[in-house]
Amino acid sequence: MSNDIRPLVVAVDGPAGSGKSSVCRGTAARLSWHYLDTGAMYRAMTWAVLDAGIDPNDADAVAAFAKKPDIASGANPYQPTIEVDGTDVADAIREDRITSAVSAVSAVPKVRQILVQKQRDAAQTALRSGTGIVVEGRDITTVVLPHAHVKIFLTADPEVRAQRRAREQADGGAVELAAVQATEEALARRDELDSTRSTSPLTKAEDAIELDTSALTLDQVIAKVVALAKAASQ
Protein backbone atom coordinates (compact mmCIF):
# COMPACT_ATOMS: atom_id res chain seq x y z
CA MET A 1 0.00 0.00 0.00
CA SER A 2 2.94 2.33 0.63
CA ASN A 3 3.66 2.46 -3.13
CA ASP A 4 0.46 4.32 -4.01
CA ILE A 5 0.78 7.14 -1.51
CA ARG A 6 3.42 9.85 -1.24
CA PRO A 7 5.26 10.41 2.05
CA LEU A 8 3.17 12.52 4.42
CA VAL A 9 3.09 13.59 8.05
CA VAL A 10 0.00 12.28 9.85
CA ALA A 11 -0.44 13.96 13.24
CA VAL A 12 -2.79 12.41 15.79
CA ASP A 13 -3.82 14.00 19.08
CA GLY A 14 -6.27 12.87 21.72
CA PRO A 15 -6.69 11.97 25.39
CA ALA A 16 -5.35 8.82 27.03
CA GLY A 17 -7.33 5.70 26.21
CA SER A 18 -8.69 7.02 22.92
CA GLY A 19 -6.68 4.42 21.03
CA LYS A 20 -3.88 6.64 19.70
CA SER A 21 -1.00 4.21 20.14
CA SER A 22 -2.69 1.18 18.60
CA VAL A 23 -4.17 3.21 15.75
CA CYS A 24 -0.95 5.06 14.96
CA ARG A 25 1.22 1.95 15.10
CA GLY A 26 -1.27 0.07 12.93
CA THR A 27 -1.48 2.89 10.40
CA ALA A 28 2.28 3.28 10.18
CA ALA A 29 2.72 -0.48 9.79
CA ARG A 30 0.09 -0.69 7.06
CA LEU A 31 1.75 2.14 5.13
CA SER A 32 5.33 1.01 5.90
CA TRP A 33 5.97 4.41 7.46
CA HIS A 34 7.82 5.63 10.54
CA TYR A 35 5.99 5.91 13.88
CA LEU A 36 6.63 8.25 16.79
CA ASP A 37 5.04 8.06 20.23
CA THR A 38 5.72 11.49 21.72
CA GLY A 39 3.99 10.52 24.95
CA ALA A 40 6.67 7.90 25.50
CA MET A 41 9.27 10.66 25.20
CA TYR A 42 7.67 12.64 28.02
CA ARG A 43 7.40 9.49 30.09
CA ALA A 44 11.08 8.79 29.44
CA MET A 45 11.98 12.29 30.60
CA THR A 46 9.86 11.70 33.71
CA TRP A 47 11.68 8.42 34.34
CA ALA A 48 15.00 10.26 34.07
CA VAL A 49 13.81 12.97 36.45
CA LEU A 50 12.74 10.45 39.07
CA ASP A 51 15.87 8.34 38.54
CA ALA A 52 17.95 11.43 39.29
CA GLY A 53 16.06 11.97 42.54
CA ILE A 54 14.43 15.20 41.38
CA ASP A 55 10.98 16.23 42.58
CA PRO A 56 8.79 16.24 39.43
CA ASN A 57 6.78 19.11 40.92
CA ASP A 58 9.89 21.30 41.23
CA ALA A 59 9.62 22.99 37.83
CA ASP A 60 12.92 24.87 38.17
CA ALA A 61 14.87 21.72 39.05
CA VAL A 62 13.23 19.77 36.22
CA ALA A 63 14.01 22.58 33.75
CA ALA A 64 17.65 22.68 34.81
CA PHE A 65 17.93 18.90 34.41
CA ALA A 66 15.98 18.52 31.16
CA LYS A 67 18.89 19.00 28.76
CA LYS A 68 20.99 16.27 30.40
CA PRO A 69 19.32 12.96 29.45
CA ASP A 70 19.61 11.67 25.88
CA ILE A 71 16.16 10.41 24.92
CA ALA A 72 16.01 8.30 21.76
CA SER A 73 12.86 6.92 20.13
CA GLY A 74 12.82 4.10 17.60
CA ALA A 75 10.67 4.62 14.50
CA ASN A 76 9.67 0.99 13.81
CA PRO A 77 5.90 0.62 14.36
CA TYR A 78 6.29 -3.12 14.90
CA GLN A 79 8.88 -2.68 17.66
CA PRO A 80 8.85 0.91 18.92
CA THR A 81 11.69 1.58 21.35
CA ILE A 82 12.46 4.30 23.86
CA GLU A 83 15.81 4.74 25.59
CA VAL A 84 17.35 7.13 28.10
CA ASP A 85 21.13 7.41 27.77
CA GLY A 86 21.16 4.02 26.06
CA THR A 87 19.00 2.31 28.69
CA ASP A 88 15.80 0.62 27.50
CA VAL A 89 12.94 2.11 29.53
CA ALA A 90 10.00 0.89 27.42
CA ASP A 91 8.52 -1.11 30.30
CA ALA A 92 9.62 1.16 33.13
CA ILE A 93 7.86 4.23 31.74
CA ARG A 94 4.48 2.49 32.06
CA GLU A 95 4.76 2.14 35.83
CA ASP A 96 2.24 3.95 38.03
CA ARG A 97 4.91 6.24 39.48
CA ILE A 98 5.63 7.57 35.99
CA THR A 99 1.96 7.96 35.15
CA SER A 100 1.44 9.95 38.35
CA ALA A 101 4.30 12.36 37.61
CA VAL A 102 4.32 12.75 33.83
CA SER A 103 1.79 15.59 33.66
CA ALA A 104 3.89 17.74 36.01
CA VAL A 105 7.09 17.08 34.05
CA SER A 106 5.35 17.58 30.70
CA ALA A 107 4.09 20.99 31.79
CA VAL A 108 7.62 22.39 32.20
CA PRO A 109 8.30 24.68 29.20
CA LYS A 110 11.98 23.69 28.94
CA VAL A 111 11.05 20.02 28.74
CA ARG A 112 8.59 20.71 25.96
CA GLN A 113 11.07 22.89 24.10
CA ILE A 114 13.68 20.13 24.06
CA LEU A 115 11.33 17.28 23.17
CA VAL A 116 9.32 19.23 20.60
CA GLN A 117 12.52 19.88 18.66
CA LYS A 118 13.32 16.16 18.72
CA GLN A 119 9.81 15.41 17.47
CA ARG A 120 10.07 17.90 14.61
CA ASP A 121 13.47 16.51 13.69
CA ALA A 122 12.02 12.99 13.55
CA ALA A 123 9.31 14.13 11.13
CA GLN A 124 11.82 15.87 8.88
CA THR A 125 14.14 12.87 8.95
CA ALA A 126 11.33 10.61 7.78
CA LEU A 127 10.34 12.90 4.92
CA ARG A 128 13.93 13.43 3.80
CA SER A 129 14.35 9.66 3.63
CA GLY A 130 11.28 9.40 1.41
CA THR A 131 9.13 7.85 4.14
CA GLY A 132 5.94 9.12 5.73
CA ILE A 133 5.48 9.25 9.49
CA VAL A 134 2.58 8.91 11.92
CA VAL A 135 3.07 10.96 15.08
CA GLU A 136 0.88 10.67 18.16
CA GLY A 137 0.57 12.87 21.21
CA ARG A 138 -1.44 15.62 22.85
CA ASP A 139 -0.17 18.75 21.10
CA ILE A 140 1.04 17.40 17.76
CA THR A 141 -1.61 19.02 15.57
CA THR A 142 -1.60 22.32 17.47
CA VAL A 143 2.03 22.95 18.43
CA VAL A 144 4.56 20.38 17.26
CA LEU A 145 3.45 19.83 13.66
CA PRO A 146 0.72 22.42 12.93
CA HIS A 147 1.37 22.08 9.20
CA ALA A 148 1.02 18.29 9.11
CA HIS A 149 -0.60 16.95 5.95
CA VAL A 150 -3.28 15.10 7.94
CA LYS A 151 -4.44 16.19 11.41
CA ILE A 152 -6.67 13.93 13.48
CA PHE A 153 -8.15 14.19 16.97
CA LEU A 154 -9.07 10.77 18.35
CA THR A 155 -11.60 10.60 21.13
CA ALA A 156 -13.89 8.10 22.85
CA ASP A 157 -16.44 8.00 25.66
CA PRO A 158 -14.77 8.23 29.09
CA GLU A 159 -16.08 4.80 30.14
CA VAL A 160 -14.78 3.20 26.95
CA ARG A 161 -11.39 4.82 27.44
CA ALA A 162 -11.25 3.58 31.02
CA GLN A 163 -12.16 0.03 30.00
CA ARG A 164 -9.43 0.01 27.36
CA ARG A 165 -6.78 1.29 29.73
CA ALA A 166 -7.86 -1.09 32.49
CA ARG A 167 -7.57 -4.04 30.09
CA GLU A 168 -4.08 -2.90 29.13
CA GLN A 169 -3.06 -2.71 32.75
CA ALA A 170 -4.58 -6.13 33.50
CA ASP A 171 -2.35 -7.57 30.76
CA GLY A 172 -4.87 -10.22 29.72
CA GLY A 173 -6.24 -10.88 33.19
CA ALA A 174 -9.73 -10.26 34.50
CA VAL A 175 -10.82 -6.63 34.74
CA GLU A 176 -12.77 -5.71 37.86
CA LEU A 177 -15.42 -2.97 37.84
CA ALA A 178 -13.56 -1.17 40.63
CA ALA A 179 -10.44 -1.10 38.48
CA VAL A 180 -12.36 0.46 35.58
CA GLN A 181 -13.86 3.09 37.87
CA ALA A 182 -10.47 3.92 39.37
CA THR A 183 -8.95 4.15 35.90
CA GLU A 184 -11.74 6.45 34.72
CA GLU A 185 -11.08 8.77 37.66
CA ALA A 186 -7.33 8.74 36.93
CA LEU A 187 -7.92 9.52 33.26
CA ALA A 188 -10.24 12.39 34.19
CA ARG A 189 -7.52 13.87 36.41
CA ARG A 190 -4.95 13.48 33.61
CA ASP A 191 -7.31 15.12 31.11
CA GLU A 192 -7.83 18.05 33.47
CA LEU A 193 -4.09 18.55 33.96
CA ASP A 194 -3.28 18.21 30.27
CA SER A 195 -6.12 20.45 29.11
CA THR A 196 -5.50 23.29 31.57
CA ARG A 197 -1.70 23.52 31.59
CA SER A 198 -0.38 26.86 30.34
CA THR A 199 2.15 25.32 27.96
CA SER A 200 0.84 23.35 24.96
CA PRO A 201 -2.46 22.18 26.47
CA LEU A 202 -4.39 19.25 25.04
CA THR A 203 -6.89 20.73 22.61
CA LYS A 204 -8.40 19.97 19.23
CA ALA A 205 -6.91 21.94 16.33
CA GLU A 206 -9.53 23.84 14.34
CA ASP A 207 -8.64 21.98 11.15
CA ALA A 208 -8.23 18.54 12.72
CA ILE A 209 -10.65 15.76 11.82
CA GLU A 210 -12.30 14.32 14.93
CA LEU A 211 -12.75 10.56 15.03
CA ASP A 212 -14.82 9.06 17.84
CA THR A 213 -13.52 5.52 18.33
CA SER A 214 -16.06 4.46 20.97
CA ALA A 215 -18.06 2.13 18.73
CA LEU A 216 -15.34 1.24 16.23
CA THR A 217 -12.92 -1.67 16.11
CA LEU A 218 -9.22 -1.02 15.88
CA ASP A 219 -9.14 -2.17 12.24
CA GLN A 220 -12.01 0.17 11.38
CA VAL A 221 -10.22 3.18 12.85
CA ILE A 222 -6.94 2.29 11.14
CA ALA A 223 -8.80 1.96 7.83
CA LYS A 224 -10.28 5.43 8.29
CA VAL A 225 -6.89 6.99 9.05
CA VAL A 226 -5.26 5.23 6.10
CA ALA A 227 -8.08 6.48 3.86
CA LEU A 228 -7.53 10.04 5.07
CA ALA A 229 -3.81 9.75 4.35
CA LYS A 230 -4.46 8.40 0.86
CA ALA A 231 -6.96 11.18 0.14
CA ALA A 232 -4.45 13.82 1.28
CA SER A 233 -1.80 12.42 -1.04
CA GLN A 234 -3.90 12.96 -4.16
The secondary structure element, H or E, covering residue 87 is: strand 87-88
Assign 3 a pLDDT band (cuts: 50, 70, 90): low
DSSP string, 148-197: -SEEEEEE--HHHHHHHHHHHHHTTS---HHHHHHHHHHHHHHHHHHHH-
Domains annotated for the chain, with CATH where assigned, are 8-229 (3.40.50.300)
- Is residue 2 predicted with pLDDT exceeding 60? no
The predicted pLDDT at position 186 comes to 76
- Is residue 115 predicted with pLDDT exceeding 90? yes
pTM of the model: 0.87
